[in-house]
């Protein structure tokens, strides 16, 4: 095995450290743990760091046993190691019975329970692959997070972390797409586009926000939305959503301030015109 060097990834000491970076790769699992640690009921983060190290060590051992001395495994061999270690040895799986459970989007609780959403499990697959120095990325697949592995010779495979890390061929991808988006959808190049680590964290937090909204936890949902805004500070869509969530919480002054901020950046169009009307109405109500 080659020495594990992931030069583009450096460990973060805090969430603020991550937020100062661009769209390059960083320690994705550590970042997800730091997000989970913001929950008031969170346990000691070091317990989960130790677990991740065990996961990485098991992957290294499995790879060494399967192909001793091999420095350029194929993409299928890499996928096999990840599936064996994460799905079989550590028994992680997708939570099909309680998919909308809030715990499925919290990496600490995913580790505790060994089950979660595709994106939460995908973070474990990506982090474990990177610990071995393998090329890996998340994909911009709608409704179901997928992971792409690339071997030294450029061959690629796409695996499904929710279903045991199974490798998906083109037909399986097409079938999955129709399940999650509808029977008329067809595979396009955009479905194979990779996403940044920052985008993966936003996708994870979007699941947290949606579940908190579903539970009626409006204040907590707003807190999650604010975290998403820290991750994507230039997002006008998140700014607009935060404004309307302030309204739902009966906070017109905060809503006005947030939506005025939206108007300073939003492009011209019907949505901007609608928000201008809302802002005008809020000003009349407040003043």
Provide mean pLDDT across the span 188-195. 92
Residue 4 has pLDDT above 90, yes or no: no
CATH second-level architecture of 15-195? Roll (3.10)
% of the chain with per-residue pLDDT over 90? 81
Contacts of 233-237 spanning 24+ positions with Cβ under 8 A: 234/265, 236/262, 236/265, 236/266, 236/267
Which pLDDT belongs to residue 241? 97
User: Which pLDDT score, from 0 to 100, does residue 110 have?
Assistant: 98
Q: Say what the pLDDT of residue 68 is.
A: 87
Q: For residue 6, name the pLDDT band (cuts at 50, 70, 90).
A: very low
pLDDT tens per residue, range 229-268? 988 999 999 999 999 999 999 999 999 999 999 999 999 9
Going by pLDDT thresholds of 50, 70 and 90, the confidence category of residue 11 is very low
CB 241 within 8 A of CB 219: no
pLDDT above 50 for 5:
no
Q: Name which residue leads in pLDDT, 12 or 174.
A: 174
Taking only the tens place, the pLDDT of each residue in 49-78 is: 999 999 999 999 999 998 888 788 999 999
What is the predicted pLDDT for the residue at 13?
55
Is the pLDDT score of 225 beyond 60? yes
Average pLDDT over residues 181-204: 92
pLDDT by residue (tens digit) across 30-40? 999 999 998 88
Task: Report pTM.
Answer: 0.91
Among 125, 120, 152, residue whose Cα is nearest residue 137? 125
Q: Return the pLDDT at 269.
A: 95
E strand residue ranges, the chain: 93-94, 115-116, 135-139, 146-150, 156-160, 166-168, 194-195
pLDDT for the residue numbered 41: 83
- Label residues 228-239 b or e (16+ Cβ within 10 Å = b): bbebbeeebebb
pLDDT of residue 10 exceeding 50: no
Average pLDDT, the chain: 91
What is the average pLDDT across 215-220? 96
Q: Are 68 and 57 in contact (CB under 8 A)?
A: no
The contacts of residue 155 (CB under 8 Å, 6+ apart) are 74, 75
Judged by DSSP in three states, 125 sits in helix
Q: How far is CA 185 from CA 9, 171, 178, 196, 199, in A?
A: 36, 13, 6, 24, 23
Q: Start-end ranges of CATH 3.10.620 in the chain? A: 15-195
Residue pLDDT, tens place only, 104-158: 999 999 999 999 999 999 999 999 999 999 999 999 899 999 999 999 999 999 9
């Amino acid at each position: 095995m080659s020495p594990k060097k992931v030069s583009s990834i450096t460990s973060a000491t805090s969430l603020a450290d991550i937020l100062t970076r661009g769209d390059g790769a960083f320690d994705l699992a550590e970042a997800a743990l730091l997000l989970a640690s913001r929950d008031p009921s969170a346990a000691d983060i070091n317990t989960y760091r130790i677990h991740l190290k065990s996961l990485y060590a098991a992957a290294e051992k499995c790879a060494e046993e399967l192909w001793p001395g091999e420095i350029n495994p194929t993409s299928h061999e890499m996928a096999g190691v990840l599936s064996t270690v994460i799905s079989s040895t550590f028994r992680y799986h997708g939570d099909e019975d309680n998919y909308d459970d809030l715990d499925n989007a919290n990496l600490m609780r995913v580790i505790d329970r060994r089950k979660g959403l595709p994106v939460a499990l995908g973070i474990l697959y990506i982090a474990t692959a990177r610990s071995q120095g393998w090329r890996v990325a998340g994909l911009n697949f709608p409704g179901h997070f997928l992971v792409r592995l690339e071997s030294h010779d450029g061959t690629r495979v796409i695996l499904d972390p929710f279903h045991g890390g199974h490798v998906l061929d083109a037909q399986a991808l097409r079938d999955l797409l129709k399940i999650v988006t509808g029977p008329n959808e067809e595979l396009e190049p955009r479905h194979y586009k990779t996403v940044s680590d920052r985008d993966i964290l936003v996708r994870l937090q979007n699941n947290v926000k949606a579940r908190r909204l579903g539970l009626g936890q409006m204040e907590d949902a707003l807190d999650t939305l604010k975290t998403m805004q820290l991750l994507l500070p230039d997002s006008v869509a998140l700014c607009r959503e935060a404004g309307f969530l302030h309204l739902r919480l009966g906070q017109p002054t905060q809503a006005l301030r947030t939506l005025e901020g939206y108007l300073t950046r939003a492009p011209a169009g019907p949505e901007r015109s609608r928000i201008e009307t809302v802002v005008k109405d809020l000003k009349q109500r407040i003043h």
